[in-house]
């Protein structure tokens, strides 16, 4: 299994829980889709050990070998998803959330009824092919972080609150409406920018142009162009950030929104790809260890318990010295990647000042 999954490879297996019949297998190597498949014997073994545990009332969630991380997840006692990753630093949290998104993509395309009451396996296999492109996007590397944080990635345009061709798809909502389809309408506002609407039977696609585009969106095209220009920077040009900050992740835990950028000081090490990986791994550590309740926690009065940690930091080494700090104030959680010269004793002060500066934006 380790040899098959070597070379930073991610495998995703989908099986019918009752029979163990594979519905599909998707793979990614180095962030790009690949045709590499796991042998049927390996697929059978991975499913068999999971079923063996279930028969003994033991829930097998994850396992690690020398070079591979494996996560199992069953949905509605009908679908079993298995993720295997040989990527360095891959966490069980990342793979588990990926499996939830994969099942959500399956529900989005075929509906929950088809997945919980499988009548014809071959027909279901064909129907699920429409979800492959979306599912493959979950297996590769992303410049964003919403897949891990389960928050909406945001950019902060300089205009603040300000801001053709079209499609009409039937879709199911994994949580809100898994059995009755809604309509997903997409309209192109600008190159690389689409407006997505979730609707009932009305309005028709032909009515959207006079009712929606001309009245509400055409006046906002210039601010939208400003949003596109931000790209992965997320923050407006000239926004004051401390010179030691190499990357940041800001989450609003109640609104489920986040701002993620590794663009400051691009001419310094580490590379943007390394910065993304470091912040993603640090978020996993923070969400599972130091702030284990993560962004979903919400108490009746909106205040976290007094015994919960407020801040933590990590210094990487040997030889690098890059520093990571996390600070939570109220409903906002800030993670920073800092250069080695930033003094350790000043990390909390720097993070507090940065969080106060960013608070009006998110």
Domain check: are 15 and 137 in the same one?
A: yes
Predicted TM-score (pTM) above 0.75: no
Domain check: are 196 and 249 in the same one?
A: no
Q: How far apart are CA 196 and CA 192, in angstroms?
A: 13
Q: How far apart are CA 295 and CA 332, in angstroms?
A: 9
Domain check: are 46 and 122 in the same one?
A: yes
Instruction: Tell whether 47 is covered by a domain.
Output: yes
Domain check: are 130 and 171 in the same one?
A: no
Q: Can you tell me the mean pLDDT for 88-104? A: 92
Backbone angles phi, psi at 295, to 5 degrees: -75, -5
Question: Is residue 338 very low, low, confident or very high in pLDDT (cuts 50, 70, 90)?
Answer: very high
CA distances (Å), 236 to each of 230, 242, 264, 265, 299, in order? 7, 15, 12, 15, 33
Domain check: are 250 and 310 in the same one?
A: yes
Tell me the angle at which helices 121-128 and 92-110 cross, rounded to the nearest 10 degrees: 100
Domain check: are 13 and 120 in the same one?
A: yes
Q: Which domain CATH number covers 314?
A: 3.30.450
Identify which of 165, 5, 182, 172 has the alpha carbon closest to the alpha carbon of residue 82: 5
Instruction: Tell whether 170 is covered by a domain.
Output: yes
- Total of domains in the chain: 3
- Would you give the DSSP letter of residue 345? G
Domain with 171 in it:
164-200+228-233
Q: Can you tell me the mean pLDDT for 286-300? A: 64
Average pLDDT along the chain: 85
Domain check: are 293 and 333 in the same one?
A: yes
* 160-183: pLDDT as tens digits: 544 447 788 889 998 888 988 899
Question: Is residue 101 very low, low, confident or very high in pLDDT (cuts 50, 70, 90)?
Answer: very high
Q: Which domain CATH number covers 32?
A: 3.30.450.70
Domain check: are 64 and 185 in the same one?
A: no
Instruction: Tell whether 276 is covered by a domain.
Output: yes
Instruction: Tell whether 177 is covered by a domain.
Output: yes
- DSSP track, 285-341: HIIIIISTTGGG---TTS---TTS--EEEEE-TTTT--EEEEEEETTEEEEEEE-TT
Domain check: are 97 and 187 in the same one?
A: no
Which residues are within 8 A (CB) of 299 and not within 5 positions of it... i.e. 6 or more apart?
305
Identify which of 329, 259, 257, 321 has the alpha carbon closest to the alpha carbon of residue 291: 329
Write a three-state SS string for 38-87: CCHHHHHHHHHHHHHHHHCCCCCCEEECCCCEEEEEEECCCEEEEEEECC
Structure tokens at 66: 């020398």
Domain check: are 285 and 254 in the same one?
A: yes
Instruction: Give me the pLDDT at residue 161, please.
Output: 44
Please check the confidence at residue 66 and state whether its pLDDT lies above 50: yes
Instruction: Tell whether 294 is covered by a domain.
Output: yes
Q: Is 248 exposed, middle or buried (0-12, 13-18, 19+ CB in 10 A)?
A: buried
Instruction: Tell whether 210 is covered by a domain.
Output: no
Domain check: are 133 and 25 in the same one?
A: yes
Instruction: Give me the pLDDT at residue 210, please.
Output: 64
User: Which stretch of 146-150, 289-293, 335-339 has the lowest confidence by average pLDDT?
Assistant: 289-293
- Which residue, 210, 233, 256, sits at the end of a domain? 233
Domain check: are 275 and 174 in the same one?
A: no
Question: Is residue 7 very low, low, confident or very high in pLDDT (cuts 50, 70, 90)?
Answer: low
* 118-145: pLDDT as tens digits: 999 999 999 999 999 999 999 987 888 9
Q: Can you tell me the mean pLDDT for 317-343? A: 91
Instruction: Tell whether 83 is covered by a domain.
Output: yes
Q: Can you tell me the mean pLDDT for 99-113? A: 95
Please check the confidence at residue 114 and state whether its pLDDT lies above 80: yes
Instruction: Give me the pLDDT at residue 266, please.
Output: 65
Provide the H-helix boundaries in the chain. 40-55, 92-110, 112-116, 121-128, 132-139, 146-149, 205-208, 221-230, 272-285, 347-358
Per DSSP bridges, beta strands 257-261 and 332-338 are unpaired
Instruction: Give me the pLDDT at residue 31, please.
Output: 76
Instruction: Give me the pLDDT at residue 295, please.
Output: 44
Q: Can you tell me the mean pLDDT for 90-110? A: 94
Instruction: Give me the pLDDT at residue 5, please.
Output: 39
């Amino acid at each position: 299994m380790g040899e098959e999954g070597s070379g930073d490879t991610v495998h995703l297996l989908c099986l019918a829980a009752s029979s163990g019949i594979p519905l599909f297998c998707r793979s990614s190597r180095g962030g790009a889709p690949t045709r590499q498949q796991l042998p049927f014997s390996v697929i059978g073994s991975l499913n068999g050990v999971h079923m063996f545990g279930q028969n003994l009332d033991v829930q097998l969630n994850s396992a690690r070998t020398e070079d591979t991380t494996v996560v199992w997840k069953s949905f509605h006692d009908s679908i079993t998803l298995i993720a295997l990753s040989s990527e360095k630093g891959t966490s069980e949290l990342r793979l588990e959330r990926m499996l939830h998104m994969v099942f959500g993509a399956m529900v989005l395309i075929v509906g929950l009824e088809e997945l919980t009451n499988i009548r014809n396996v071959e027909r279901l296999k064909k129907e699920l092919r429409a979800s492959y492109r979306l599912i493959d996007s979950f297996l590769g590397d992303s410049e964003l972080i919403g897949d891990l944080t389960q928050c909406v990635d945001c950019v902060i345009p300089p205009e603040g609150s300000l801001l053709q061709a079209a499609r009409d798809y039937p879709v199911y909502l994994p949580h809100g409406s898994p059995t009755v389809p809604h309509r997903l309408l997409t309209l192109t506002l600008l190159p690389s920018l689409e407006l997505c609407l979730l609707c009932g039977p009305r309005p028709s696609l032909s009515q959207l142009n006079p009712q929606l585009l001309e009245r509400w969106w055409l006046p906002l095209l210039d601010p939208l162009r400003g949003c596109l220009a931000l790209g992965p920077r997320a923050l407006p040009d000239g926004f004051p950030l401390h010179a030691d900050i190499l990357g940041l992740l800001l989450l609003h835990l109640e609104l489920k929104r986040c701002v993620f950028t590794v663009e400051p000081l691009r001419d310094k090490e580490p590379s943007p790809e390394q910065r993304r990986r470091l912040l993603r791994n640090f978020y996993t550590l923070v969400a599972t260890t130091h702030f284990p309740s993560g962004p979903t926690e919400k108490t009746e009065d909106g205040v976290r318990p007094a015994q919960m940690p407020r801040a933590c930091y990590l210094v990487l080494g040997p030889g690098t010295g890059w520093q990571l700090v996390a600070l939570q104030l109220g409903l906002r959680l800030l993670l920073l990647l800092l250069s080695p010269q930033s003094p350790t004793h000043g990390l909390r002060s720097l993070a507090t000042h940065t969080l106060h500066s960013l608070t009006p934006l998110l």
